[in-house]
Amino acid sequence: MAKKTVGRKSKRLRRRDPDRGAPNRRAIDHIMLAAKKRAGAKHRAGPKPRISASIQQAIGSMVQTSSNVIEEQIRAGQAAAERLRLGIASSRQLNADVNMLVESLAAATRQLGTTWLQVVSIIVRAIGTQAPTAGGGSSGGGPASPTWSWPGLGAITQTGKSGNATTSSSITPADPAMIGVPPQIVVNSKRVTNVTLDLHPRSARFVPFVQQLIAANAKHSLSSVKFTVSPDSHCLILTVNVPTRQPAGNYSGPIIDSSTSQEGGTLSVTISR
């Protein structure tokens, strides 16, 4: 047997209890923490992130609503299935049940999937994963901090500035259960003084497209306006470019849902001399 080391110490050392013994697993806390860290970051450009009480409330409402929707759908589906199993003689009742079952299940899946997408989009946008690129191009100047308004869960409007332009981006989904995220607006011309975007998506698969904006003088049109997706934050951005010789005026036109070819909003751009 090896020798023991002799007489080194007499006092036994003990570990202290740690300040905490478990990780913080609450997801909402991490969102708050990330927001605080970003707010305290020295080199942060672009809009200041906020987790406002209204956003928390909206998220909470959405989570609760979604949970309720799921529970209702599952209960309704189970009830319908049970009736079917028991054998319903009346075809009217059977038809109603089949319709309800099929549509409810399909709608619930679609709705919840997209609703969740909207929720996370809100969170992403609210905390601010990526500041929009500086508007104005050579004219410089990034967008001013946008303001958010929450008139209700149905409509959301974001106002701000990009370059010299005052911008207003609004989204009002047809389905009140959906929450839309207004696209950011980036203006790459000093001559643009106002951009107003108003979206009315009818479904969660809404893919906006601008073909052409027309001025009061129908000979003048503006087609250098397009929707893109930010590669970093994956948010929708409306980029407004204006050719050098574009006549001044107010240009407006419809937004088309390219997945359904139906109208989904309006856009107007005011160009000064």
Partner 1 sequence: MGKRQLGARKPIEVAIIGGGCASVAAAFELTRPSQKGAYHVTIYQLGWRLGGKGASGRGPMGRIEEHGLHVWLGCYENAFLLLRQCYEELKTTAKAGEAKGRTRNWDDFFLPDSHIAVAGASAQGGWVNWAAHFPPAPGLPGDAIELQNPFALTHYFARAVSLLRTLLLGLETFRATGMTNADADFDSSQTRDELPGETVDIAARIGELLRAGALASAAIAVEALALVEAALKSIPKVPENMLLLVLETIASALRKQFEAVVSSDDQARYQWEIIDLILANLVGAVRYKLLTDPRGLDAIDHLDHREWLRENGASERAVNSPFTRVLYDIAMAYEEGDPNRPAISAGAALRGTLRFFFTYRGALFWKMRGGMGDVVFAPLYEVLRARGVTFKFFHRLRNLRLADTRKLAPREKQYVEALEFDVQAETLEGREYQPLIDIKGTPCWPSAPDYRQLKGGERMRRQGWDFESDWDQRKAATLRLQVTHDFDFVVLGTGIGALPHVCREIIATNARWHDMVTRVKTVATQAFQIWLDADLQDLGWDIPPVTLTSFVKPFDTWADMGHVVPAENWPDPQPRTSAYFCNVLADPPDEPNLRDIEYPKRRRKEVRNNAIRFLNSDVEKLWPKAKRRSGEFRWELLVDASAKAGHKRGATRARFSTQYWTANVNPSDRYVLSVPGSASHRISPLDNTYDNLTIAGDWTDCSLNVGCVEAAVMSGRLAAHAISRFPPLEDIIGFDHP
Helix axes 91-127, 53-86, angle to 10 degrees: 160
Compute the least distance from the CB of residue 208 to partner 1, in Å.
Answer: 12
Among 8, 219, 245, 273, binds partner 1 (CB under 8 A): 8
**139 backbone φψ class: left, alpha, beta (φ>0; ψ -120 to 50):** alpha
Compute the least distance from the CB of residue 223 to partner 1, in Å.
Answer: 24
Among 44, 50, 76, 98, binds partner 1 (CB under 8 A): 98
228 binds partner 1 (CB under 8 A): no
Q: What does R_g of the chain's alpha carbons equal in angstroms?
A: 27
124/214 with CB nearer partner 1: 124
Among 233, 241, 252, 270, binds partner 1 (CB under 8 A): 233
Residue 50, Cβ density class (10 Å: 0-12 exposed, 13-18 middle, ≥19 buried) = middle
HSE (side-chain half, CA atoms, 13 Å) at 152: 7
The DSSP call for residue 195 is E
244 binds partner 1 (CB under 8 A): no
113 binds partner 1 (CB under 8 A): yes
40 binds partner 1 (CB under 8 A): no
Residue type, 2: A
What residues between 43 and 62 interact with partner 1 by CB under 8 A?
Answer: 59-60
207 binds partner 1 (CB under 8 A): yes
263 binds partner 1 (CB under 8 A): no
SS3 103: helix
39 binds partner 1 (CB under 8 A): no
Contact 257, 209 (CB under 8 A): yes
What residues between 122 and 151 interact with partner 1 by CB under 8 A?
Answer: 123-124, 127, 129
Tabulate helix, strand, coil % of the chain (nearest 5).
30, 25, 45
226 binds partner 1 (CB under 8 A): no
245 binds partner 1 (CB under 8 A): no
Among 1, 45, 53, 216, binds partner 1 (CB under 8 A): 1
Number of residues that bind partner 1 (CB under 8 A): 74
Beta bridge partners of 253: 267
